[in-house]
Amino acid sequence: MTRIRIAGTGSFLPERIVTNDELAQRLPKTSDEWIYGHTGIKSRRVAGPNESASSMGLIAAQRALENAGIAPEDLGMIIVSTATPDYAPTPLVSCILQDKLGATGAAAFDMSAACCGFIYNLEIAKNFYYKPDFRKPILLVATEVMTRKVDWNDYKTCILFGDGAGAVVIEPNEDAAAPSDLVDTIMRADGARGEFLLLEGGCRSYDSLNHPKAHVLQMAGTQVFTFAIKAIEEVVQDLTKRNDLTYDQIARIVPHQANFRIIESAAKRLGFEDLDKFYINVDSVANTASASIPIALDEMNRSGELKRGDKILIAGFGAGLTYGGNYLIW
């Protein structure tokens, strides 16, 4: 049986902070009270002109490698999740990071499942260790500049998003006495409702450059909200049921940080009396898409909130529509 451990974590948030009050000055229908009341968000980070998915991902990666005590040249693979790459479609962000890090021996590829990218990539990465000749560390990076993909005059969507990057380094857990592992993963999709969360600008038959909504995120807010609550509920219920877990055994639940109201509603449907087990930082970082979960894990790791042996559930949802989760023993 192959087991893995998260050897190190890292994250990066841009320096610029945009508060609700600042947004309200350009969005007449909003206010700090209105935005916070609907989303639980007080502020978000916005990338500067010279920051990108690769530049943010590089810093998060360097911090994760340092935290793990692993040199870039020892990496066997780099996997990146991003919906906002530097280039479309090439060179890949993972290849840019391989060069910038000096990880000359590492394979590199990007794999996006929207906001579920990190969840999917954890499972994908673990499966490489079923090859008996592959035991090198793997770097997972999720990095997003979502603020460049929203219409800043659309008060229903632009208030939700922020920029940032998170990273983890995983390696085989060779210690029979150590419990660390990625025990179980759920990866699911509902493609029939994919147009509820849509970003134009691809290679369809129409002229995307002249399309009025090209390259701007479009979201059916009510439908996505409903889907997201059910997705978190389903993932947590299924992971606990098929792994014989009780809520008391779970140290932390780390949901995708899209909207506090989604997390709150899902928790109530799951029967939680409060949100003490849920890690929440959406108030200060907003929705950083696939980067939200590794950013949260890094914050928890560096603050000492995570202890080896802790049982953690991760749950997420995103465009596609995709959803899923992981059961980790830290």
Is residue 167 domain-shared with residue 191, that is, in the same domain? no
C-alpha distance from residue 143 to each of 23, 68, 187, 329 (Å): 23, 19, 20, 24
User: What are the structure tokens assigned to 166, written together?
Assistant: 């998170």
Tens-digit pLDDT profile for residues 72-84: 999 999 999 999 9
Tens-digit pLDDT profile for residues 151-200: 898 888 999 999 999 999 999 999 989 999 999 999 999 999 888 877 76
Distance CA 97, CA 63 (A): 13
Domain total in the chain = 2
CATH number at 279 reads 3.40.47.10
Is residue 297 domain-shared with residue 217, that is, in the same domain? yes
Using 50, 70 and 90 to split pLDDT, how confident is the model at 202?
Answer: low
Catalytic pick from 121, 287, 301, 326?
Answer: 287
Is residue 94 domain-shared with residue 227, that is, in the same domain? no
Q: What is the pTM of this model?
A: 0.95
Is residue 192 domain-shared with residue 52, that is, in the same domain? no
Catalytic annotation on 256? Answer: yes
Is residue 192 domain-shared with residue 71, that is, in the same domain? no
Boundary (domain end) residue, out of 172, 189, 209: 172
Catalytic pick from 67, 95, 116, 256?
Answer: 256
Boundary (domain end) residue, out of 125, 146, 172: 172
Catalytic annotation on 115? Answer: yes
Catalytic pick from 115, 121, 173, 326?
Answer: 115
Is residue 187 domain-shared with residue 89, that is, in the same domain? no
Is residue 325 a contact partner of residue 236, using CB atoms and an 8 Å limit? Answer: yes
Is residue 235 domain-shared with residue 160, that is, in the same domain? no
Catalytic annotation on 173? Answer: no
Kindly state the average pLDDT of the residues 308-314: 97
> Which residues span the domain enclosing 149?
4-172
Is residue 166 domain-shared with residue 23, that is, in the same domain? yes
